[in-house]
Amino acid sequence: MCGIVAYIGYREAYPIIIKGLQRLEYRGYDSAGVALLNGELAVYKKAGKVSELMKYVEGKNLSGKIGMGHTRWATHGEPNDRNAHPHYSESENFAIIHNGIIENYDSIKKALLLKGHTFQSDTDTEVLIHLIEEIYDTENVELEHAVRIALLEVVGAYAIVIISKKHNNQLIAARKGSPIVLGIGEGEYFIASDATPIVEYTKNVVYVDDNEMVIVTDGELTIKTIQNELKTPFIHELELKMEAIEKGGYDHFMMKEIFEQPHSIWDSMRGRFDAKTGRLRLGGVAQYEQKFMNAKRIIIAACGTSWHAGLVAEYLIEDLARIPVEVEYASEFRYRNPVIHEDDVVIAISQSGETADTLAAIELAKQKGATIFGVCNVVGSSIPRATHAGAYTHAGPEIGVASTKAFTAQVTVLTLMALQLAYKKGTITESKLREYLYELESIPKKIEKVLLLNDSIKELAAKYKDARNFLYLGRGYGFPVALEGALKLKEISYIHAEGYPAAEMKHGPIALIDEHMPVVVIATKNSSYEKVVSNIQEVKARKGNIIAIVTEGDDVVKQFADYVIEIPETDDILVPLVAVVPLQLLSYHIAVMRGCNVDQPRNLAKSVTVE
């Protein structure tokens, strides 16, 4: 979602900001803008991509050592030039960029209209900078205080940056609910929604906390709460490497990330177990082991692909550790007055660690006394900071909007978690545990084998790229894979796709099947294999086109399927890790062939920081 980047220091701000905006493009956006301070306060903004903005500013005065930029994902007001950020105040002496939502903007706007303010956009953000100027003028206070007073009045979520023509040596940022990372260089400071625009300039960062303000004046940094208490910044060293945020020879980040999976799965397992001795330890789980052991149930809250990983975890934890699990869409859970007990353990799964609904679900469960465990990818993000304990997935930065390596890393960590709980509970023996761990160790090699199928999957994609609908079917551990396969296809190729439990097909989707309907079936050898084979025959009898994901050497499904993709055999519980990979590749190639913007699909955002 919206990306913010800002600079104050000794260099020209524009090149740093524009590059930063390009690094943030992956978050998803529909317009972009910059503001530069150099005696004058210049604002340039444009609907469309950052490249449009760059064309638009050609020949304009882009000087200034203080500046800020924004990529906007529309919430209030359509995505056009007017509504793009930055926004000026009434006098145009102040400008703001904002990620989040000001919920009470309407009442504030009405009050400001009565005072004679005029607004240029339909956004909530513009109202906030007008309010700040109104307070600055009428109360005759420093800008920092005017911002503080205004923020105490607003309801909602924000990450904001403000610069002003009246304060040529100052930059102010504040956060509540939406992320801000502060980069500290030698005599220069960087602000961004995440570390990707900062990493090439400095490794020293501060993850700004909720209710905090960053004030840089004359090269001096101060961090205070919105209530005006001074804070001591805690400086982290970034582990992020430049290569991790570049395409490295691939056409798209998504392809790079699909191919990184043998490696990223290793990274998510590294140091956590030893198959030979059966030692397995996720520190966060060990720390809260008693809570897990006493839990009458586990609730998993997540969104999107992370929710699919949660579904895999439900199957794993119930199957192996015999603890009841409920998987919840965080957005539903937070508003439906759920029953939460003090002895519940809530697992929040999130790649970005910033998803607004998942964060809200955590807060709700925390208030009710539950223990909250996080499974997140982005180190230092909001969710890991809001949980009692957790396990990072260590997949490295995921830039493609469609999640791939983050999913397999989540499933890997959740598998380890289920095994650790099961062993502790005594629901699996030590030899069974070792067997699973050995098999888990072999998964990266098995995925390497699947990746060798890339060319044949590309040929298959060419055959189906013009389909209007797709159905994905699976049973047991194959069902979450079907859901994830369908999501991958629809989000990047804009082909309507549905994932369904294979047997449920008879209760509806079977009516859709004709010779034009491609049906992808997860038909690997496992306990429900025969039943899936029957489902395949039912589809075939209605002239559906079958693409089956089968275990290497399967010659039964071949008789009915139009195409088979053979994947290496693995244990039933590990099937999702291997079976999802060909589906990622299929979606990728179909989307590329249809000319879609694979890394930045329309309307989607990498992290959904508003509800």
The residues that touch ligand G6P, with contacts defined as CB under 6 A, are: 303-306, 350-352, 355, 358, 401, 403, 604, 606-608
Q: How far is the CB of 161 from ligand G6P (least distance, A)?
A: 23
| CB-nearer residue toward ligand G6P: 9 or 396 | 396
| CB-nearer residue toward ligand G6P: 226 or 486 | 486
95-to-14, 127, 375 alpha-carbon distances in Å: 16, 11, 37
Residue for token digits 């513009």? 126
| CB-nearer residue toward ligand G6P: 353 or 509 | 353
Q: How far is the CB of 608 from ligand G6P (least distance, A)?
A: 5
Burial letters for 225-255: b for 16+ Cβ neighbours within 10 Å, e otherwise?
Answer: ebeeeebebeeeebebeeebbeeeeeebbbb
Q: Is 464 left (phi over 0), alpha (psi -120 to 50) or beta?
A: alpha
- Residue 131 to residue 136: CA distance in whole angstroms: 9
| CB-nearer residue toward ligand G6P: 403 or 528 | 403
Q: How far is the CB of 407 from ligand G6P (least distance, A)?
A: 8
- Residue 587 to residue 491: CA distance in whole angstroms: 9
Evaluate the omega torsion of the peptide bond into residue 86 and state whether it is cis, within 30 degrees of 0: yes
Residues in the chain: 611
Q: How far is the CB of 305 from ligand G6P (least distance, A)?
A: 3
| CB-nearer residue toward ligand G6P: 173 or 399 | 399
| CB-nearer residue toward ligand G6P: 146 or 330 | 330
| CB-nearer residue toward ligand G6P: 68 or 348 | 348
* Contact between 377 and 275 (Cβ < 8 Å): no
> From the candidates 2, 303, 376, 596, which is the catalytic residue?
2
Q: How far is the CB of 308 from ligand G6P (least distance, A)?
A: 8
Q: Is 424 a catalytic residue?
A: no
Residue for token digits 């519980």? 573
| CB-nearer residue toward ligand G6P: 268 or 551 | 268
- Spatial neighbors of 409 by CB under 8 A, at least 6 apart, are 264, 265, 267, 268, 377, 393, 394, 395
Q: How far is the CB of 260 from ligand G6P (least distance, A)?
A: 16
Burial letters for 596-611: b for 16+ Cβ neighbours within 10 Å, e otherwise?
Answer: bebbbbeebbbbbbbb
Q: How far is the CB of 568 from ligand G6P (least distance, A)?
A: 26
Q: Is 432 a catalytic residue?
A: no
Helices within 165-302 (DSSP H only): 253-259, 261-269, 283-287, 289-294
β-bridge mates for residue 300, sequence order: 327, 347
Q: How far is the CB of 194 from ligand G6P (least distance, A)?
A: 11
- Residue 308 to residue 327: CA distance in whole angstroms: 9
* Contact between 577 and 436 (Cβ < 8 Å): no
CA 292 to chain centre: 27
* Contact between 474 and 502 (Cβ < 8 Å): yes
Strands 545-551 and 563-567: what pairing? parallel
Q: How far is the CB of 602 from ligand G6P (least distance, A)?
A: 12
Q: How far is the CB of 127 from ligand G6P (least distance, A)?
A: 27
Look up residue 35 and give its amino acid: A
Q: Is 422 left (phi over 0), alpha (psi -120 to 50) or beta?
A: alpha
What backbone phi and psi angles, to 5 degrees, belong to 237?
-100, 125
User: Residue number with the shortest CB distance to ligand G6P?
Assistant: 304
Residue 20's Cβ-count burial label (10 Å; 0-12, 13-18, 19+) is buried
Q: And the tokens for 279?
A: 């030692």
* Contact between 351 and 378 (Cβ < 8 Å): yes
68-to-7, 71, 86 alpha-carbon distances in Å: 6, 11, 8
> From the candidates 109, 405, 490, 606, which is the catalytic residue?
606
Nearest to 301 by CA among 330, 281, 324, 325: 330
| CB-nearer residue toward ligand G6P: 27 or 446 | 27
| CB-nearer residue toward ligand G6P: 134 or 398 | 398
Active site residues: 2, 606
